[in-house]
């Protein structure tokens, strides 16, 4: 087997095109799958807990729909806004750090070269090899600054674009968040029947989100599925018990 060919035991191949694509991403390029997965997980769990709590509290199916829809839309907007502000803050931090490093390089280049030297000395380089690396990196100002951001300040050189991060979160939250409500919108009239059907399709959604999450994190897909299912089930059970307790305590129904 050619050492560039895919090996089923490995996560990726080593063709030049694949290497360039991974390096472009790892070098600070940003994928938005993680934002979508976060939105999908939060959307499905949040909505199903609302459904479980409302059914546990003996509320009518129409009330479940009203609460659920209002909650999905409001939480999707809230989460997207939070993600936007978070990504924007990260981008601003990187921008300030980049300008700071540029000023330091212009004002005290030898001091910044010493920092480069110490960084790569700690990685095991020494002597002529170390000096060659320092010379090569400091020969290009942009490369030099990017290296300092990643190695000294531990910042991504190209953080997530705020609007795209927010959009990925919003769309995933909204799309997956409506799944637990579908039986109440188009299903049987009985809230109990609708709830049971909602539990089934939501569990299937948890499995799907868990598989995508496992792939995104490069971890065992079934472990991710179990974690997602466990989290959603526990949250829904707690919501249902609280709803049932409040129903009894308040003498509703």
For residue range 91-122, what is the model confidence (pLDDT) as tens digits? 899 899 999 999 999 999 899 999 989 989 99
- Reported as a single tens digit per residue, the pLDDT across 149-181 is 888 888 877 778 889 989 999 999 999 999 999
Other Cβ atoms closer than 10 A to 74: 10
- 6 lies in some domain: no
- 215 lies in some domain: yes
Domain count within the chain = 1
For the chain, what percent of residues have pLDDT higher than 70? 84
Please say whether the beta carbons of 131 and 114 come within 8 A.
no
- 1 lies in some domain: no
- 16 lies in some domain: no
- Which residues, other chains included, contact 173 with Cβ-Cβ below 8 Å and sequence gap of 6+? 39, 40, 42, 43, 72, 75, 76, 79, 80
What is the span of the domain harbouring residue 166? Answer: 32-248
């Amino acid at each position: 087997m050619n050492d560039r060919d895919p090996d089923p035991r490995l996560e990726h191949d080593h063709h030049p095109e694949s290497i360039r694509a991974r390096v472009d991403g790892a070098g600070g390029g940003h994928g938005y799958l993680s934002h979508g997965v976060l939105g999908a997980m939060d959307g499905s769990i949040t909505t199903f807990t609302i459904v479980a709590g409302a059914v546990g509290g003996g509320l009518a199916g129409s009330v479940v729909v009203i609460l659920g829809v209002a909650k999905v839309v409001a939480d999707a907007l809230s989460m997207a806004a939070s993600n936007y502000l978070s990504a924007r803050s990260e981008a601003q931090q990187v921008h300030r750090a980049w300008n700071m490093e540029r000023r330091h390089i212009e004002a005290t280049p030898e001091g910044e070269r010493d920092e480069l030297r110490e960084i790569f000395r700690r990685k095991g380089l020494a002597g002529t090899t170390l000096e060659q690396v320092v010379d090569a990196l400091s020969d290009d100002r942009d490369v030099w600054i990017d290296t300092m951001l990643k190695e000294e300040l531990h910042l991504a050189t190209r953080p997530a674009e705020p609007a795209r991060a927010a959009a990925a979160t919003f769309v995933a939250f909204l799309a997956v968040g409506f799944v637990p409500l579908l039986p109440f919108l188009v299903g049987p009239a009985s809230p109990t029947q609708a709830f049971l059907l909602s539990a089934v399709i939501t569990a299937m959604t948890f499995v799907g989100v868990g598989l995508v999450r496992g792939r995104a994190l490069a971890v065992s897909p079934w472990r991710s599925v179990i974690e997602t299912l466990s989290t959603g089930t526990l949250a829904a059970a707690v919501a249902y018990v609280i709803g049932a307790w409040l129903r009894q305590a308040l003498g509703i129904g």
